[in-house]
Structure 1
């Protein structure tokens, strides 16, 4: 009972003391420092550079770096790191990512779908937005709190008349946390990164209307294999396109010099 009480008190104090706000004003749970997250991102990035093939094509690297530089010039100074690092991975994956600590990875397979600088800027802006909004910290914090809650339930069941059903109950609760909390949270973050990233790429001089064409290309490239939105951490392509179309209509007319990344 004492252990249960401690866990309950810990969970309550975490929930009350670690609240923050995202760039769109959404409440967030943030438990880890910027320094901790930057170190974690840097370590993960180094492991990826060791385990995955890095593109040696000079033109491809220069092109991706040009787009990334145009965007990061308009990013406010971050706590935990001073410089963005961009690496192009030689892979057929249609993907890109950004990690805490200013680490950006782009797979060459993406360049066959993001067919111009504006579409590539849509993806890179989206990934940078995840970092600006502390989404990795938020996901990790949410997972920590979920685990604490499961521990409390496990202890409570062990001391009750339903102890014999504890294994099955915990398995069901684990599934409930995954689909009821963590996955929808991922969809919220993805939609937020779409909006923040769109503002960022438009502010950097790229054409925000090309974001619509990008996600149409993504839908075509997926060949209709995308899982149902309810069981996915990403919004459906149709949802994404609808949200971006609405946001584009309300964007201010930024006067940034248009990049020329070839």
Structure 2
């Protein structure tokens, strides 16, 4: 008599990267941005003239406040936000924050996607900003000039300042063809504008920066020095003891 014994999975190698984590569902803002970018990205990669022209116009808005770019009206992801405002689901203040977040995310993606005709720079469930920045550093050592740019972005005090500093980072990511999850970024930009939201977003970016390792760079825990797994937040240059 034979029995079907469940197979025992082989233990994961200490050098294997951690399995991908699915992020929480997007809010209205992130979902609207994800949908609009997915549509435009598909057209751009197919070399459709309308999508190519739209991206060129959107790029001109990168780093600028939404209320100073009327030329972009109707090109972004504002329809769902305006409808939610009209239905009373969003107050005027909430709608303005949502519009700004969607504008920043969409125009940064347009800059990011420029000249990439075969690769998607927006990936649904793709890397968070901190992890993407860490991918710019292929070795185990932290590249200080890049880290400082990341810190400058994380410590911005206004949405316009944040957009301008993220523009610098996106330019680096474009050069190395490192994608982002722009739906997630849009939600974080929206959260960043709320009371206490900037601190929460900074913490999330710092943790994703620390957690990401390229497979070849993951050290063997058996040979790691004591304290090597302490969480470090690169946006503050301080150890984060809250787990």
Give the TM-score normalised by the residue count of structure 1: 0.25
Bigger share in strand: 1
Bigger share in helix: 1
Give the TM-score normalised by the residue count of structure 2: 0.26
Per chain length, whose mean CA-contact separation is higher, i.e. which structure has more relative contact order (CA < 8 Å, sep 6+)?
Answer: 2
